Amino acid sequence: METYGDLIATDDVLRFVNAAITSTGQREFRTEAHEQRLSLDFLHAYMLGNYRDLYAAVLALEINDHNAVLIIRHLLQSAAEATPEQRRTEGRLIARRLAALPPQRAYGLFRALRRAKVNNRRTRALVRDWLAARPDLALDAVKYRAGLQCALRHARLSPAGIGAGRPLGDELGDFLFAWRERPHYATPLLETWRRAHYEQSALYELPYTVAEGFAARQEIPRAAFLERIAPRMTRLETLRLQESARGHGAEAVRADAARLARMPLTRLASYVLSLPGEERTARRAELTQILRSAADRVAGAERGRWGTVAAVLDDSFSAAGSGHKPRRPLAVALACHHLLASLATSYTPLWTSGRTDALLARPYGPTPLGTRILDALETAPARLVIVSDGWDNAPPGLASEVLRVWRTRLDPARATRVVHLNPVYDADDFDVRRLAPTVPTAGIRDAEDLPALVELAQFAEGGSGLAELRAYLHTRAARLLGEGQPPTEGRMLMEGRMLMEGERT
């Protein structure tokens, strides 16, 4: 039997998982950055103090990098409070998640550990092993020079030892701590960086983020710099800078179809929304095809096997996001739209604005979720997916009442499975905003995680308790550590489909 304490624990863990998926401590449409950070810091401290093993196991879920770094830092800072068994498990989880982090996040974590004076043996070993596994230390030395310096000093590592057996040999220490002492470097990238201090042409052989600093110091006009550095940009840099480059007249910075075809679905949706409406219309066939292809890749073997699906998608004014996350909620909704269209046998999308052309979506107007949910339920779908920040305001509370009556009076047998996916963290409530107690709600950051989040929604619905949640988290941790069958894309989609139908896995 589940006790009252078990119910509270289940709710606490789910609340934290939703926060760890959606919140990055940055400003949202309705809350400031300091409110987000205070709320998130409280949840991390609460989870660490009350559910340490589950707190560590969350590293195996689809949480964002910001919260993964916070979990790792808190676990390392409080290592003395853990049992030997907990430390062993945490060390392996931390090492696996650290390897999956972008390098700038990892170097930022090392700097935070140094400021906090966390320098135990396990921390030094994690830094050493992470650096030893880096594929190109020369690139790290150029691109993340200050971070690499900090990591070596903090972990008390010899640059010669880290560079031993690699092409850069013993040059790493000189480059990081006394680069002017050598008149020439045998490693081409290090030598190019040295020459860039004196030769303007050399900076165009460097990665974009490194060359940008040199261009600013040498006062190179922005348009000219962007035109010449365009071939050195990565796909993400090209997408991120395209709007800025257009404003400077640097037409060479353009994401071609080949680059776009390899982009993840949600990033691709963000790129499409950044384009002017006229360009979206002119490139309709190209952009639509690329979005559909990306959605089909995510759907995999489950394409067309989810039955009849209706979706209520929020494109109200609050979907504009914030200056830190422009149009992020709308991008998630657009990406979910294409993924659900790929998964469904029959699909009905309903945007809150009444728009029928998803490609021209823009944040506009109020949020009549209740009306759109009624429209969706009239189609008698097997599944109803709501993607919204949960602020139902036209009129307020209608969505909650519609869902309550539908679940308790009209469909108590749950012939229609309803799930609410919320891309925005509500700092005041320490959770994502929910529409109704009878509808499971999960936080979402990337549409690619939709099937796995449907899997988590069973716990929010109350159909499973703390024991099942613990088992689920420990199973995911075991998968991450290679102790079980890895969660393939098709498997996760299958699990999500089964749970939407009310089955137990």
The Cβ-side half-sphere exposure at 256, using a 13 Å CA radius, reads: 6
Query: Which residue shows structure tokens 């009239």?
Result: 378
Confirm whether 386 is domain-assigned: yes
pLDDT of residue 161: 79
pLDDT of residue 500: 31
Residues with Cβ within 8 Å of residue 480, at least 6 apart in sequence: 59, 60, 93, 96, 97
pLDDT of residue 302: 87
pLDDT of residue 90: 93
pLDDT of residue 57: 92
Q: Residue 488 — pLDDT band, cuts 50, 70, 90?
A: very low
**pLDDT (tens digit per residue) in 427-474:** 998 999 999 888 889 999 999 989 878 766 666 565 556 787 788 788
Confirm whether 320 is domain-assigned: yes
- Contact in structure between 336 and 447 (CB atoms under 8 Å): yes
Mean pLDDT, the chain, rounded, equals 87
- Contact in structure between 68 and 101 (CB atoms under 8 Å): yes
Confirm whether 448 is domain-assigned: yes
Question: Structure pTM?
Answer: 0.86
- Is residue 479 scored above 90 in pLDDT? no
Higher pLDDT, 254 or 190: 190
pLDDT of residue 7: 78
- Is residue 320 scored above 70 in pLDDT? yes
**C-alpha R_g of the chain:** 25
Residue 289 sits in a domain of what CATH number?
A: 3.40.50
> Nearest-CA neighbor of 109 among 127, 135, 89?
127
**pLDDT (tens digit per residue) in 157-184:** 988 778 666 777 778 888 999 899 888 9
Q: Residue 252 — pLDDT band, cuts 50, 70, 90?
A: low
**pLDDT (tens digit per residue) in 37-76:** 999 999 999 999 999 999 999 999 889 999 999 999 999 9
Helix (H) or strand (E) holding 418: strand 417-422
CA 112/CA 210 separation, integer angstroms: 23
Q: Residue 402 — pLDDT band, cuts 50, 70, 90?
A: very high
Confirm whether 489 is domain-assigned: yes
**pLDDT (tens digit per residue) in 352-388:** 999 999 999 999 999 999 999 999 999 999 999 999 9
Q: Which domain holds residue 315?
A: 278-497
CA 336/CA 446 separation, integer angstroms: 9
- Is residue 191 scored above 90 in pLDDT? yes
Q: Residue 262 — pLDDT band, cuts 50, 70, 90?
A: confident
Confirm whether 73 is domain-assigned: no
**Structure-token pair, residue 200:** 């303007």
Q: Residue 323 — pLDDT band, cuts 50, 70, 90?
A: confident
pLDDT of residue 465: 67
pLDDT of residue 372: 96
In three-state form (DSSP H/G/I as H, E/B as E, the rest C), the secondary structure along 473-485 is HHHHHHHHCCCCC
- Is residue 496 scored above 70 in pLDDT? no
CA 309/CA 382 separation, integer angstroms: 6
Count how many domains the chain has: 1
pLDDT of residue 456: 64
CA 50/CA 206 separation, integer angstroms: 48
Query: Which residue shows structure tokens 């993964």?
Result: 68
pLDDT of residue 391: 92
pLDDT of residue 481: 82
- Is residue 126 scored above 90 in pLDDT? yes
Confirm whether 162 is domain-assigned: no
> Nearest-CA neighbor of 336 among 325, 326, 324, 350?
350
